[in-house]
Amino acid sequence: MHKLPGFFFFFVLLLIGSCTGSKKLKDANASFEKNSVIALEKIKSQRVDFSSFNANANLDIKTAVFNGSANAKFRIVQDSAIWISISKLGFEVGRLFVNKDSLFFMERIQKTYGKFSFSEVSSEIGFELNYPFLEDFILGNPYLAEKKNAIKFLARDTILVFPELNEYFVQHSISSKDFKLRKTHIVDSATKTETNLTYGDYKELFEDQIFSYFRSIILDEKDGQETEVVIKFSKPELNIEKSLKFDIPDSYTLRKF
């Protein structure tokens, strides 16, 4: 994988922006049986119901080119756009904007900006991306395949879900007690890149919506390099629309891969 000190930093911040949410189930185990169809329906029923989403976050990041902390603000309009502002020591250092087709970023310090299609980004990072995946990832909805999602039940109260996604192996670990997402393991068979995500610190937020305020992400590349991110969310809110302003100053220089 090519190293992208600027854009890769922003993309890592995008990936670690996942805020897991789910609806609270009352007596979830009372009528639950080890039936794949029923289990998948219960998992789908936990998807976050929202029109817009906002949250703040504290980030701790360790990569080959960056080791430190940052703050972020996340805003989403469902099925439309994702907006992220990154700040350091109280000053905004950049913004990221994502729509159905492309990703845009600008860096305040170097005064650069870029526009990339999902296919370009997917090729560069060694993982296939699209807008639905990113929105699900940020909201914490397990990303499921349209046609086939295999289910396996473990004795330790865990349901494993295996979406069929082309050349990628994806495994979601979900609690059979409350159907909350606990872990996601992703492997790119072509690049051998592995990503492991862990979710925790669930709290009730609004109208039985449950969010994970703690997240850890570890990205292992085939060359042995590792990216580790810890995220702690604060002040998440649903269905309150805020500005997604993303204006690139004329003085900024275009940046390419």
Enclosing domain of residue 164: 7-244
CATH number at residue 116: 2.50.20.10
Domain annotation covers residue 251:
no
> Rounded mean pLDDT of 242-256?
92
Name the domain count of the chain. Answer: 1
Task: State how far the Cα of 210 lies from the Cα of 182, in Å rounded to an integer.
Answer: 13
Name the pTM for this structure: 0.81
pLDDT of residue 28: 44
Domain annotation covers residue 253:
no
Domain annotation covers residue 19:
yes
> Rounded mean pLDDT of 144-169?
87
The overall average pLDDT reported for the chain is 82
Domain annotation covers residue 250:
no
Q: For residue 30, give the DSSP letter.
A: S
pLDDT grade for 155, boundaries at 50, 70 and 90: confident
pLDDT of residue 34: 67
> Rounded mean pLDDT of 113-130?
82
pLDDT at 257 over 70: no
Domain annotation covers residue 70:
yes
Q: What is the DSSP pairing of strand 253-254 with strand 112-117?
A: parallel
Domain annotation covers residue 171:
yes
CB within 8 Å of 193: residues ≥ 6 apart: 1, 126, 127, 187, 219, 220, 221, 222
pLDDT grade for 222, boundaries at 50, 70 and 90: low
What is the percentage of the chain residues whose pLDDT exceeds 90?
A: 36
Task: State how far the Cα of 67 lies from the Cα of 152, in Å rounded to an integer.
Answer: 38
Range among 129-133, 146-150, 169-173 rated most confident? 169-173
Domain annotation covers residue 254:
no
Q: For residue 163, give the DSSP letter.
A: E
Domain annotation covers residue 92:
yes
